[in-house]
Amino acid sequence: MDVLINPAARDGEDRKATVKATRPTREEAEAAVRVLIAWAGDDPDREGLLDTPKRVAKAYGELFGGYDQNAPKMLERVFEEVGGYDDMILVRDIPFFSHCEHHMVPFIGKAHIGYYPNEGVVGLSKLARVVDAYARRLQTQENLTAQIVGAIDETLRPRGVAVMIEAEHQCMTMRGVQKHGVSTLTTQFTGVFRDDPTEQVRFMTLVRSR
The catalytic position among 13, 28, 102, 154 is 102
Residue 77 CA to its chain's centroid (Å): 21
pLDDT tens digits, residue range 26-50? 999 999 999 999 999 999 999 999 9
pLDDT at residue 81, rounded to an integer? 83
- The pLDDT score that the predictor gives to residue 15 is 56
For residue 100, what pLDDT band results from cuts at 50, 70 and 90? very high
Average pLDDT across the chain, whole number: 89
Task: Calculate ∠ Cα 161-69-59, nearest 5°.
Answer: 120
For 131-142, how does the pLDDT look when each residue is reduced to its tens digit (9 = 90+)?
999 999 999 999
Active-site residue (options: 13, 27, 28, 101): 101
99 catalytic residue (yes or no): no
What is the DSSP pairing of strand 160-169 with strand 78-79? unpaired
Instruction: Verify whether residue 200 is a known catalytic residue.
Output: no
Which fold is adopted by the domain 82-208? GTP Cyclohydrolase I, domain 2 (3.30.1130)
pLDDT tier at 11 (50, 70, 90 boundaries)? low
Task: Please report the pLDDT score of residue 22 as a whole number.
Answer: 79
- Which of the residues 139, 141, 147, 200 is marked catalytic? 141
pLDDT classification of 8: cutoffs 50, 70, 90: very low
Residue 194 has what DSSP assignment? Answer: H
User: Binding site for Zn(2+): what residues are annotated?
Assistant: 100, 103, 171
* Residue 62 falls in the annotated catalytic set: no
Check if CATH label 1.10.286.10 holds for domain 12-63: yes
Provide the pLDDT confidence category of residue 14 given band limits of 50, 70 and 90. Answer: low
Quote the percentage of the chain above a pLDDT of 70.
88
pTM of the model: 0.86
Between CA 167 and CA 141 the distance in angstroms is: 8
Residue 162's pLDDT band (cuts 50, 70, 90): very high
pLDDT at 1 over 80: no
What percent of the chain is modeled with pLDDT above 90? 76
pLDDT at 17 over 60: no
Known catalytic membership, residue 171: yes
Residues annotated in a binding site:
100, 103, 171
Which residue would you say has higher pLDDT here, 19 or 157? 157
141 is catalytic: yes
Domain range list for the chain: 12-63, 82-208
What's the pLDDT tens digit per position in 164-190? 999 998 877 766 776 777 789 999 999
Q: Are 45 and 22 in contact (CB under 8 A)?
A: no
What is d(CA 97, CA 106) in angstroms, rounded to the nearest whole number? Answer: 7
Task: Measure the CA–CA gap between 150 and 85, rounded to whole angstroms.
Answer: 23
Q: List the catalytic residue out of 30, 169, 170, 199.
A: 169
pLDDT of 119 higher than 90: no
Q: What is the mean pLDDT of residues 60-73?
A: 95
